[in-house]
């Protein structure tokens, strides 16, 4: 793997499905997995096989059906979880077991009720067990960003010694800032003696709206795998959005010198599929895939867009699979866009007619929230009829 290549690990079907209310059926999961596979996602986390019979069956079916992606299943650091996960992913051409345990003092004291030394033993035995089943094992330190760095170094060293090939350091509760997250990776990679034997991974939650920024900062710290979800769905405020990290890397190669295997022109299609199967609407102003991401209403912006699209768009709609930019006609629109709209609708007006029609359009837009093409046609037809009276 070249040093600038970033592995995209999609967890829409696991962490994404943990969004309250986002449950998908077996067939819907297969449909999403097939599209992710086709889009160039390197690793699909297909589910949590021990969680339910349905999850086990979905992970098994996805492992059998997909062609290119590595198929991962999640397992707690418990033998029966790891064995069940191994059973489900073994059908994949390239299976991965992803096992995790909490490492922060707050989780150890209140959730795990274990000492730090006990957790180190658990890491060692469970990672080794997973590694007996598959060659590709990911280990995650749950709540890594609230774990003291000295202890986190010992955990990571132990996991790599036991056979982990990927080390994921999640910001489980969305608490970190970009500088802190970058430094954590730099410190771990500098201090853990066997760090060069594993790929480091980011996994960021969006509780403070920093999931994408933190993920990119993690790359600067040396991580080369990003865990993310389509439309950013996930626990609580969600995970880093796949479409945002991919397009940030693609658009800002000058400051983000990395590459992914994602076919970005499929992003809009997969976003729509995930929104439909989860019944989670995409917010209108969502970056990359929101309905307004390539829509312009103000007169100044529309005028600029008609002269050169780069004035107000930093990526082309086609690059993410959107057919075209839309100039939405509303009260902020100017003459230039109005004239273009008339041309598109097949009208050629003289200067005076155009001025009158524009004034009537502005008055209408002040009264009406949505001005449709039909409204403009009616208004212009009326204007033309009046001239002939
Ligand atoms: O947020 C988290 O810590 C997780 C782990 C299971 C990787 O989702
Ligand atoms: Zn998570």
Look at residue 229 and tell me whether its pLDDT is greater than 90: yes
Residue 75 Cα to ligand 1 midpoint, Å, equals 11
Residue 170 Cα to ligand 1 midpoint, Å, equals 6
* 43-60 residue pLDDT tens: 999 999 999 999 999 999
**Structural Rg of the chain based on CA atoms:** 25
Cα separation, 253 vs 219, in Å, equals 13
Please provide residue 375's backbone torsions phi and psi, each rounded to the nearest 5 degrees: -65, -40
pLDDT at 370: 87
Report the nearest-CA residue for atom 2 of ligand 1: 172
Residue 347 Cα to ligand 2 midpoint, Å, equals 54
- Quote the tokens at residue 68: 């290119």
User: Which residues, listed in sequence order, are joined to residue 75 by a DSSP beta bridge?
Assistant: 99
Report the nearest-CA residue for atom 7 of ligand 1: 140
Query: What average pLDDT does the segment 163-180 reach?
Result: 98
Which position has the token pair 């008055």?
363
Look at residue 389 and tell me whether its pLDDT is greater than 80: no
pLDDT at 359: 96
* 140-160 residue pLDDT tens: 999 999 999 999 999 999 999
* 316-364 residue pLDDT tens: 999 999 998 999 999 999 999 999 999 999 999 999 999 999 999 999 9
Handedness of CA 359, 364, 370, 376 (dihedral sign): negative
Residue 199 Cα to ligand 1 midpoint, Å, equals 17
Instruction: Please tell me the number of the ligand nearest to residue 103's CA.
Output: 1
Which position has the token pair 């230039």?
336
Look at residue 383 and tell me whether its pLDDT is greater than 90: no
Residue 347 Cα to ligand 1 midpoint, Å, equals 57
Question: The pTM is what?
Answer: 0.96
pLDDT, mean over the chain: 97
Report the nearest-CA residue for atom 5 of ligand 1: 142
* 70-106 residue pLDDT tens: 999 999 999 999 999 999 999 999 999 999 999 999 9
Which position has the token pair 């160039």?
40
* 261-270 residue pLDDT tens: 999 999 999 9
Q: Which residues have CB under 6 Å of ligand 1?
A: 15, 100, 140, 142, 168, 170, 172, 203, 205
Interface TM-score (ipTM) > 0.95: yes
**Is residue 192 a contact partner of residue 198, using CB atoms and an 8 Å limit?**
no
Q: Give the pairing type, strands 43-47 and 70-76.
A: parallel
């Amino acid at each position: 793997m070249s040093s600038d290549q970033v592995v995209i690990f999609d967890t829409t079907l696991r962490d994404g499905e943990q969004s309250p209310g986002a449950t998908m059926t077996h067939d819907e999961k297969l449909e999403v997995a097939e599209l992710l596979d086709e889009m160039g996602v390197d690793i699909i986390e297909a589910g949590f096989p021990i969680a339910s019979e349905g999850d086990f069956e979905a992970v098994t079916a996805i492992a059998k059906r997909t062609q290119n992606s590595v198929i991962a299943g999640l397992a707690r650091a418990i033998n029966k979880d790891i064995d069940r996960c191994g059973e489900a992913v073994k059908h994949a051409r390239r299976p991965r077991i992803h096992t995790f345990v909490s490492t922060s003092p707050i989780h150890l004291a209140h959730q795990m009720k274990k000492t730090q030394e006990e957790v180190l033993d658990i890491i060692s035995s469970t990672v080794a067990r997973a590694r007996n089943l598959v060659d590709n094992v990911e280990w995650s330190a749950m709540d890594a960003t609230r774990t003291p760095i000295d202890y986190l170094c010992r955990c990571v060293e132990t996991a790599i010694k036991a056979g982990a090939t990927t080390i994921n350091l999640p910001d489980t509760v969305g608490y970190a800032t970009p500088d802190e997250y970058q430094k954590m990776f730099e410190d771990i990679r500098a201090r853990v003696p066997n760090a060069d034997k594993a790929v480091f991974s980011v996994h960021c939650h969006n509780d403070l709206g920093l999931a994408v920024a933190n993920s990119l900062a993690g790359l600067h710290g040396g991580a080369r795998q990003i865990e993310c979800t389509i439309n950013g769905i996930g626990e609580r405020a969600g995970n880093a959005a796949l479409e945002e990290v991919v397009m940030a890397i693609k658009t800002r190669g000058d400051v983000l010198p990395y590459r992914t295997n994602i076919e970005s022109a499929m992003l809009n299609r997969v976003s729509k599929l995930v929104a439909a199967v989860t019944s989670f609407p995409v917010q209108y102003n969502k970056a990359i895939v929101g309905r307004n991401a390539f829509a312009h209403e103000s007169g100044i912006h529309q005028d600029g867009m008609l002269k050169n699209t780069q004035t107000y768009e930093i990526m082309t709609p086609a690059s993410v699979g959107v057919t075209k930019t839309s100039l939405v006609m509303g009260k902020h629109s100017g003459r230039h866009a109005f004239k273009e709209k008339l041309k598109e609708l097949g009208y050629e007006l003289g200067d005076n007619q155009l001025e009158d029609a524009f004034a009537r359009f502005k008055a209408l837009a002040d009264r009406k929230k949505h001005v449709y093409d039909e409204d403009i046609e009616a208004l212009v037809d009326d204007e033309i009829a009046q001239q002939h009276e």
